[in-house]
Chains A and B, each alone.
Chain A
């Protein structure tokens, strides 16, 4: 069975890739802590929305990852760690809000419920928010890096396509004067001749 998506990690971010076959990934929240090659993925996460999404996408696209250590200091107001724990425990509501998160704007935009469910099933979160001692972090890493089996399903690539298609009819008039000949419709970003104005 394939365990790692072809282009893993799927989304870019402030992280370092170690051993993709390791069972553990480490999220250091707002702290910068030197990475270890024994970890699948190691990096910071400061936001309660985009940051959480990226962690989920890069986790479920690698079935080897079964544990995520959440350590480092929380980012004030955003509470990325609290939000990650909340989405794992409670999921999201109909509006995309992470249920139970105390972060400022804990909403998910780019991933599906299916992806959230897979994340909940695939990994166990190790809540050590506040821990910054590298020696202690490495003790946990070594305890979990080979523990358990690969998640018994192929990696899931779950990120919505960029919204590039037009969602409106092209206008033929404008509200911004470019010159005597042309105007622009600000909402559509279309420049058109003033005869249509």
Chain B
């Protein structure tokens, strides 16, 4: 393991601290709820769902976080303004944890940004994400909102190399007039969470791991990813899943460790149901990393797994 020469920023979002040197803070884990084909969702467009089941899942993640010391974020996924509004209301009612607002559609993200500002929850919300698809109206909506935390995605659709991804954040890589970091500044984003973009294996998934290190060395912002998207998009593994679901789960949950070993500060680990497996897996990595850097003048936080579980 190693230590960055560059000072590593620690952001505090609704009480959850993210960032720092490897081994300093426990990895922050975000499980997704209301995701595509989530069985608790009854009406995707309207955002109707089984409230008891959803509450149980959030409690499951909270209990896992409490036990291992890894802070948690609730990753809300919605595809319409109506559904994401309902999801935000529910999550804020059930939990004090910060939450990610995520949608594949810019207008839904914009609506969510506006909505959390209206109801006074912007300080708990993390925008997911500022990426190369952002347009003028989305920038305007985010700038007008009170949100000051966002994931900034290093996806570059024309150049998936390390250089291409870094340039997307820094300069716009010739595809945007300015870099995404600069756009984030214009939108009033203070807490910048860098996501190097987990593309499928065969299309540069591994590059995201190296970019995690590079981005932290260059900017010092907290960095992490949805690394489970690599195994979940792996067709070979998905075929194996039909005969051996445990094998799939091992790869999906186990990918967490790779991102941590590459200095990741946060992980979007996928379905929230996996919390009882992901949190111990992440805690194990955190403990080992913390021990590995013990003589590099890095002090683990009081509620770090190394101080709670061993």
Contacts and interface: CB of A to CB of B under 8 A. Distances in A.
A189 interface: yes
Contacts of B296: 177
Contacts of B131: 105
Contacts of A187: 162, 166, 214, 217-218
Contacts, number: 81
Size bracket of the A interface: 20 to 34
B2 A176 contact: yes
A96 B6 CA distance: 36
A184 interface: yes
A153 interface: no
Contacts of A75: 104
A77 B105 contact: yes
A109 B199 CA distance: 13
Interface string A63-104: 000000000000111100000000000000001110000001
Interface of B: 1-6, 79, 103-106, 131-133, 155, 157-163, 166, 174-175, 199-200, 202-203, 210, 213-214, 216-218, 235-236, 238, 296
Given A95-B175, A175-B6, A177-B3, A104 B104 contact: yes
Contacts of A175: 4-6, 217
- Which 4 pairs between the two chains have the least Cβ-Cβ distance? A77-B104, A107-B157, A186-B217, A104-B133
A14 interface: yes
B133 A189 contact: no
Interface of A: 12-14, 49-50, 75-78, 95-97, 104-109, 163, 167, 174-178, 183-184, 186-187, 189
B4 A176 contact: yes
A75 B79 CA distance: 10
Contacts of B216: 186
A35 to B, nearest CB: 13
A175 B210 CA distance: 14
B105 A105 contact: no
B218 A104 contact: no
Contacts of A49: 157
Of B104, B105, B218, B238, chain A has the most CB atoms within 10 Å of the CB of B104
A96 B158 contact: yes
A109 B105 contact: no
Contacts of B158: 95-96, 107-109
